Chains A and B, each alone.
Chain A
Amino acid sequence: MSVMTTEKLPAGLAKYEVVIGLEVHAQLSTKSKIFSWSSAAFGAEPNASTDPVCLGMPGTLPVLNQEAVQAAVRLGLAVGSHIRPRCRFARKHYFYPDLPKGFQISQFDEPICEGGTVRFRVRGEPRAVRLVRIHMEEDAGKNVHATDGVSFVDYNRAGVPLCEIVSEPDVRSAEDAAEYVRALRTLVRYLGICDGNMEEGSMRCDANVSLRLRGETKFGTKTEMKNMNSFKNVRDAIEHEVRRQAALLDRGERVIQESRLWDATRGLSVAMRSKEQAHDYRYFPEPDLPPLALSEDYVAKAKASLPELPEDRYERYTGPSGLTPQDAGVLVAERDIADYFDATVKAGAAPKKAANWVINEVLARVDDARRLAEASLPVPAAALAELIALVEAGTLSGKLGKDVFLRMWNERRRAGDIVAAEGLAQVSDSGSIEEVCRKVIAASPGELERYRAGEKKLLGFFVGAVMKETGGKANPKGANEILRRLLDQGE
């Protein structure tokens, strides 16, 4: 376990070690809810996506969605958790308007996944955060607060499946915390189980933050930070909390165990309620759902269905493929980008070249990586590979290659077709280049004399003239060599 942090804390804080544990809720992108058949899709009109079960009407019963189970198992396997052969659901009781039954069906004693490790990098440095568990549960509805003494409840979200991912307190800085959450987001998107949108709430994060003197093994009192709905907010909120706690401790005061809501507009946190009056959730096994059994066969099949994960791809890209960490980082950030890149390489392009083209030309033209997986993409991976091959073979100059790419993108044509149709093939045969070179030299006797008198940089003038004469199609290297020979040797 790496607890290094490269983050520099202000001098006064250096005596403290920051201890952070995170609870991340990922809203699963199943079609229907976890325990009932109504739609789990985001964005419906208020209370238009409900049914008697998710409204908690009397006499209703939960029935478990197999896709939610599949998602949780794949997530657990992706982080190396132990998948329990039998797990149980439990009722977690509290009263709140957005919780229709007065309890949430969750998991307590026997969660579906135990342990696991999330690997990621912070500015190139490896990190590993251990997980306590991952469990399944149902989401609550939404409360909307009005100003005149009433609130409104919308149950559309009630019953949407969630995976709760609980980490050990292994995180040691606000920056690491933000990157950890980002890594989870990348992972759930790779697996296709959640779109990881913190602003919309499909991924939510709470952080438990405490300080202790460096060298101390006992944990300090922790506070729970909530309402951090972006990576930046995660980082800012935790940084603020670290400073707040340090100030208290420096003054000899106690940190109160409590939940605090982050207010991004004001840049501060506000205490919600004291954890001393902690909930008694009165957990007990959910009687309406027998224990869930997962066979070895089921788990093996789920494992086989996993895509190559971000960190493994990163290692392959920076290792055998020889890409820079920076380029590798860009390519693995979204599965669709990495898949597109891999496909381009598979179609014959060298990794470094492919990386170049994908990052500089392709990614510049899409605002959502998901476009890369769509059939409507103007330049599929194979087409890109074809273009790259033409440039590498010298048929197209690099500059011309970019022009061709633009035309491929706008006109949806293959490189080969464009080149053939417009005779853009780079002229490389020395015979025809030499002819053009002689012609150009003959047309510029003044420059020839000055070159032979010592102005060697006039070579560029002649190369330019050759390129102009050939409409950019001459192989620059070839033209360069031939001109040099003709100019230096004289005739």
Chain B
Amino acid sequence: MQSLFQDFWIHGAMPIQLLLVLVFTFFLYVGGNYLLKKKFGKGVPQFGQAVLIWVGAYFILGYVIVPPIPATLLYTFMGLITIVLFLLLSSTEASWQEFKRPIVDTVTGATPVYRSVRTATFVTLPLIFGFGTYDFVKPKFEEPIELRIVHPAPPQSITVHNRNFTLQTAQNPFRVDDEGNYLEVGHESKYFDNNPFAPDAPKFMQYVREGGAIFFQNCHFCHGDNLEGRGMFAFAFNPIPANFSDPGTLAQVQETFVFWRVSKGGPGLPREGFPWASAMPPWEQHLTTDEMWKVIMFEYWHTGFYPRSWD
């Protein structure tokens, strides 16, 4: 369920906003009833109040709160509210009689107005049940749900172009600082706002530039110009290409994991990763290992994530 007020809620201030909504509704309810009592001598009848509260609660829970609550939670709350309402209504005999009155009047047809309401209800109820049953028993053909492991466990080691890489210990040879030493994870933030095409770019940025060229010659068709998995061909594939700008992909894994995925591609996935459906090319068929490492550098630089590391 999408909230109707999605754009009005200020993220992070939900409890205050929820409180404001509840206070506002309470005042509206009490104030409205009070005004009616003043004008007509009596407020909204019990049945009407019960319906108003029930519908109002459903509206607020289902369509006002941001972020939207799960459907099962909504049903739990509404179930509780229904029970509580009935408890309140039946707490005194007088209140219960007053609540029942509109129902009894409708069924027995006490006045012409009630009689037309009765006719309308007695006609629409069977229709609703009839169509509901039809909807329930009619065969629907929807895509079977298959759950794929997005980050399957990588193998201990892989062989790419006749070289062996132990995934736990291998390092990206192009992840270097200005002196050419290995740049520890976390220290590359100083390069995040650099221009890779600057003529005096440090070594790190030169490799990023080369990686970017490779990316935009091979990868962006699927993974997109902003690395979000929304490339030109992404719409045709299922599963869709990985979204690197989402913190759930690159940021969760080590560089060697990415190296495994890039070099071995879809066919290199274990069974739980659905190798038969993945359009990810085995890039060892097209790129050298150097090119693969540089592309990985570019991807982390562009998205601003750090790879997972042991320290």
Do these two chains really belong together in a complex? no
